[in-house]
Amino acid sequence: MNKSYESKSAIIVLYGSSDYKILDKKLNGQLDTMCLSNSIDNKDNLETEMTYPSKVNTRAICVVKTDKQSDNDWRNLGGKYYSRYKEQVDHVYFDDEMPKEVYDGAMMAKYSFSKYKTKDKPTYAEIHVDDIDTIDMLHESVYFSRDLVSEPGNVLFPAEYAKRINDTLSPLGVNVKIYHQAQLEEMGLDLLLSVGQGSARDSYVVVMEHMNGKKGDSPIALVGKGVTFDTGGISLKPGRNMGDMKYDMGGSAAVVGAMHAIANHKVKKNVVGIVGLVENMPDGTAIKPGDVVTSLSGLTVENLNTDAEGRLVLADILTYVQNEYSPCCIVDLATLTGAIVATLGNEMAGLFTNSTEWSDNIMSAGKYSGEGFFRMPMGQNWNKMTDSKIADMQNIGGPYGGSTTAAEFLYRFVDPTIPWAHLDIAGMCWNRSDKDTCPVGAVGFGVKTLFNLVKNEKKSCEMAIDEDMKY
């Protein structure tokens, strides 16, 4: 806690102790001049807000610790109070004895994407705390992810996206490999390329290597869908809200943000991130409903709906990362289906997996990070719904169970002996209204979960595959 304050600065202090004398000392005796609206010693109250004389420039909010509150309650509290005062004061000072989640919530709420505003740019209070440590650097990574998702499609197209990944991650020691259109054609990633063939923009694949673990250990693979703009292709989306489809690369942004955090913290693990970057457009060269394309794996796919394009991108890069890196476990992220939003709303992401152990690890990392997941069902009956009469499979499974049939489509491209999880984050990537820890817009969902998952994962090569998923 800073011991002195600028006279012109109004200051908010969030404090995690009920000790009046300590708090008064940190405020240089100013607390004695204030009138308390409630007793600080009342541990049943989550918060106590103090009134203060007009001549005192310090505003103090005392947060009283209680066992009744979850970590997310503390995050939301920090975000709520920061959002309330961020435009009224110059500085927000946090005490280092408070729950760290309070500070975390405030930092998450501080983000603003205003680079394209030419006037009335918002200016928010600076946040100060004595011991920032890991939690601060994670915010850098979340902000990076949010920035990527927030960029309009005319600015962040595949080539520019690949450049930003390289420019940001390479200085952190990440080995970034960029594969352009001609290389992808030679490599045989035809499913991915079919999605972008209607665009004037070339498609790209970017591989990010962080090999900071034991030599010879198989890496954890993080796989992300990066459709920088999704019109739906020939299966054109309705015009209303189509502008939101700039965030259809949110899965890739989570992977890129996580790789940023992993490198920034020099995590002692072998990790490979891979993202497929395409633009789905409906010109005369675009893939048509009914077209059949051969995947990198050799399996043929009948494309019955060109708006079910993300799974085609993921299928080829899932095959590539398994062929080239033999990962010990895999997690992919995508804004994949509207069906998951219909099921879970904007409260949780859908989790599909072949391993209960892997699911438990992801759920635990998500809970620790303040990001919610709900395990969804999988099984052979749903898998059969993606059978095609003229090809090995089709890219949609029928009118019902759309999020599960999409996951089953992906599972056909996964070695069933490898622990794998698919995270459908379609309902969590973008806020349509302000929340305590995130303003309207990009959330950066998944970055913290992936970071904590990788950092704490210890049994990746020992996790069992569920018996009913061995098909």
Question: DSSP assignment of 196-235, as one string?
Answer: HTTSSSPPEEEEEEEE-S-TTPPPEEEEEEEEEEE--TTS
Q: Give the tokens for residue 82.
A: 């920061």
What pLDDT was estimated at residue 31?
58
User: Any catalytic annotation for residue 177?
Assistant: no
Return the amino acid letter for 432: R
What pLDDT was estimated at residue 99?
79
Q: How far apart are CA 46 and CA 74, in angstroms?
A: 9
What pLDDT was estimated at residue 18?
47
Cβ(63)–Cβ(102) below 8 Å: yes
Q: How far apart are CA 208 and CA 221, in angstroms?
A: 10
Supply the DSSP string of 8-55, one letter for each residue.
T--EEEEE----HHHHHHHTTTGGGGSEESS-TT-TT-SEEEEE--TT
What pLDDT was estimated at residue 299?
98
Could you report the per-residue pLDDT of 442-463, keeping only the tens digit for each?
A: 999 999 999 999 999 886 678 9
SS3 for 254? helix
What pLDDT was estimated at residue 36?
44
What pLDDT was estimated at residue 48?
54
Q: How far apart are CA 421 and CA 288, in angstroms?
A: 30
**Paired sense of beta strands 58-63 and 91-94, if any:** unpaired
**Paired sense of beta strands 11-15 and 58-63, if any:** parallel
Could you report the per-residue pLDDT of 92-125, keeping only the tens digit for each?
A: 877 777 778 888 999 999 999 999 998 888 888 8
Q: How far apart are CA 312 and CA 332, in angstroms?
A: 13
Could you report the per-residue pLDDT of 35-44, keeping only the tens digit for each?
A: 444 444 444 4
Out of 26, 100, 269, 311, pick the active-site residue.
311
Q: What is the mean pLDDT of each run of 10 residues along the chain (471 residues)?
A: 42 56 62 48 50 55 65 88 84 76 90 90 81 70 98 98 98 98 98 98 98 95 98 96 96 98 96 98 97 98 98 98 98 98 97 97 95 97 97 95 98 97 98 92 98 87 92 95
Q: How far apart are CA 393 and CA 385, in angstroms?
A: 9
User: Any catalytic annotation for residue 412?
Assistant: no
Integer Rg of the chain from CA:
24
What pLDDT was estimated at residue 40?
44
Out of 163, 164, 177, 237, pick the active-site residue.
237
The reported pTM is 0.91
Q: What residue ranges define each of the domains in the chain, with the CATH number in brackets?
A: 11-130 (3.40.220), 137-469 (3.40.630.10)
Q: How far apart are CA 86 and CA 59, in angstroms?
A: 12
